[in-house]
Amino acid sequence: MKLLAMEAASVSGSAAVREEDKLLALSFRNRGLTHSQTLLPMVEEVLDAAGMKITDLDGIAFTDGPGSFTGLRIGGAAVKGLFFGRKACCYPVSSLLAAACGGIAFSGIVSASMDARCGQVYNALFRGDGKTLTRLTADRALPVAELLEELRALEGTPILHLGDGGHIVFGEAVAAGQTDQILAPAGMRYPTAAGVAEAVFSGLAAADAEREGYSFPLDPEQLELRYLRKPQAEREREAREGRTPAKPE
């Protein structure tokens, strides 16, 4: 299978082409530019580097959440635009699973976190045995303090922190005196399109789909993004109506 993979849910963005167990091309950007500026140029770059055209691909994989509302919408629109009218398979992948795949060879607890602001993170925990990952929690948005309590109960087991919010949780855990904390190097920490592709080819994304009861793969027109939290504008409207307090995104 020839697969195009994209990651646009986090602060960074990337695109990759993989054919079976061979990663053919990878492009990564973390310069603070919006994904609307970088994502499609990266797709063109990796396709050119792999010597392929869109019509050569068997499918596309991309992160469908959680993460940046804007980034997710850009990624979803790119998927539908690139594959509009084509019979191609679409493989949605959790952005936290994509990040965790950077630690797929780790033995211990893999904690994948993304900064959700307001003292919260999007997080999922996995157990690694050096060969694959077993999901321990669903993707969730929770206060960092609550996550630290979960990690405290796992003390004695090495804990690897990944994701664009991994440094936040790692720093708070160390400050709280928690031991066995490991922060992944910057080159491994961010979710990437290579991790998205790995989640598909390893079967981990399919296992997520089976656990959550949705079809996998999908037709691109069936895509639904998983935000976990309401958009900022909706939360502000509810606050004005006196239903909930407003919090910045």
Task: Output the CA–CA distances (angstroms, integers) from residue 110 to 21, 23, 100, 115, 159, in the order listed.
Answer: 23, 23, 6, 16, 6
- Residues of the chain below pLDDT 50: 233-236, 238, 247-249
C-alpha torsion sign, points 118, 122, 127, 130 = negative
| 2-96+191-229: CATH number | 3.30.420.40
- Whole-number Cα distances in Å, 111 to 84, 134, 247: 36, 12, 25
Q: What is the pLDDT of residues 46-58, one digit of tens each?
A: 999 999 999 999 9
Condensed to tens digits (0 to 9), the pLDDT of residues 204-232 reads 999 999 998 888 998 877 888 888 755 55
For residue 237, the model assigns a pLDDT of: 52
Residues forming CATH 3.30.420.40 domain(s) in the chain: 2-96+191-229, 102-189
Give the CATH H-level superfamily of domain 102-189.
Answer: ATPase, nucleotide binding domain (3.30.420.40)
Q: What is the pLDDT of residue 236?
A: 46
DSSP assignment string, 34-66? -HHHHHHHHHHHHHHHHT--GGG-SEEEEE-SS
Nearest to 142 by CA among 175, 163, 165, 119: 119
